[in-house]
Homo-oligomer: A and B are copies of this chain.
Amino acid sequence: MNMQVIFLGTSGSIPTPSRNLPSILLRREGEQIMFDCGEGTQRQMIIGKIGFRKITKILITHMHGDHVLGLPGLLQTMALLDRSEKLCIYGPSGIRGFMEDMIRSLQFNITFPIEVYEVKNEGTICREESYEIKAIWADHVVPCLAYAFIEKSRPGKFYPEKAKALGIPKGPLWGKLQRGEAVRLSDGRIINPEEVTGPPRPGRKIVYTGDTRPFSGLIELAMKADLLIHDSTLDDALAEKAGEDGHSTPSQAAETARKAMVKKLVLTHISARYSDPSILLEQACRIFKNTIVAEDFLSLNVTFPDE
C-alpha cells in the first residue's frame, strides 16, 4: 500500500519564485490528507497534476495567513468542479469563524458538506479504520498544532508452513488468518491468527510540526516516526531571532529527530533569505544524518518500517 508525501509549498511566511506558501499532501490508498493550505495551494495542485476530489481532510496547524489563506480558494474551486463528497477541516480555535466569514463574504455556492472541527484538547482527533491522527500543542507565537498521522499495526507476517503443519487447508481460511481473524476448521478446532503469523507489524507514522520552537512534547509525538517534517525557518546563526518569531533552526530540528529516533527528517518553512538552502542541510546533518530540505513538488514514498 503506497504512501506518498508531496510538498506543495515549502516557503516561510513570504513566498519566493521557487517556493509557494506551506502545504503538504499525504496520499494513501486513494485518499488525500492535506496539512496546511497556504495561499496558492490550489494552483500548486493544478501544476502538479493532482486532483482535488480525493482530499478528505485538511488539517490547519495555526491561524496565520501563510498557512490558511489557500483554503477558501481551494473550496471555491472544489465547488466550481461540483464536488459532492464531504470535506473535514481541522484546526485550532478560530478556524470555524474564518470558514464562516469566508463563506458569507464571498457568497460561496458550496456544493458539498463541510465539517469543521476546532481542536481543543491534545490527543487523537480523528480515528479511521486503518489510521488515526493525533494533535498536540506546538510552541509558536499563536496557538499552533503539531499533527501525527499514525497507521494502525498490520497483522503479523503469515507463515504457510505453520498453517500446513496445523492441517489448515489452503484457501479462504488462510486469507482470514492473514487478515488477523480466527477460523474454525471442519474438525471443530479453532485456530487463532497468532498460531500462524508473526507479531503485528507497526504501521507508518508521519509527524508535521507546523511553525514551532523546539519543544519536548514533540519528541514523544515523533518517537520512531518514519518522517518528521519540521519547521526550519532560519539557520543556526539566527537562533535568537528564530526563537523570538516562534520558529526552529536546523540544529534544533535535528536534535529532536535524533532524540525521537525518527527514520528521516525533512526541513521545511524555509525563509526567503535562503535561495540556496545548503547551509540549513549542513547544520542539520551534523546532528542527524538522514535529513533533507523540502522543495516544492518533492514527493517522498514512505515505506513500512519492515520493508
Contacts and interface: CB of A to CB of B under 8 A. Distances in A.
Interface of A: 13-17, 20-21, 39-40, 42-43, 46-47, 63-66, 68-70, 72-73, 76-77, 80-81, 94, 97-98, 101-102, 105-108, 142
B21 A73 contact: yes
B80 A73 contact: no
A94 B104 CA distance: 10
A43 to B, nearest CB: 4
B107 A13 contact: no
A46 B77 contact: no
Given A15-B46, A17-B46, A17-B47, A105 B63 contact: yes
25 contacts: A13-B76, A13-B77, A13-B80, A14-B42, A14-B80, A14-B81, A15-B43, A17-B43, A17-B46, A17-B47, A21-B73, A39-B42, A39-B69, A39-B70, A39-B73, A63-B107, A64-B106, A64-B107, A65-B102, A65-B106, A69-B69, A94-B105, A98-B101, A101-B102, A107-B142
3 nearest A-B residue pairs (beta carbon): A101-B101, A40-B40, A15-B43
B69 A65 contact: no
Contacts of A98: 101, 105-106
Contact of A106 (B63, B70, B106): B63
A141 to B, nearest CB: 9
Contact of A76 (B43, B66, B80, B102): B66
A99 to B, nearest CB: 9
A112 B145 CA distance: 30
A73 B63 contact: no
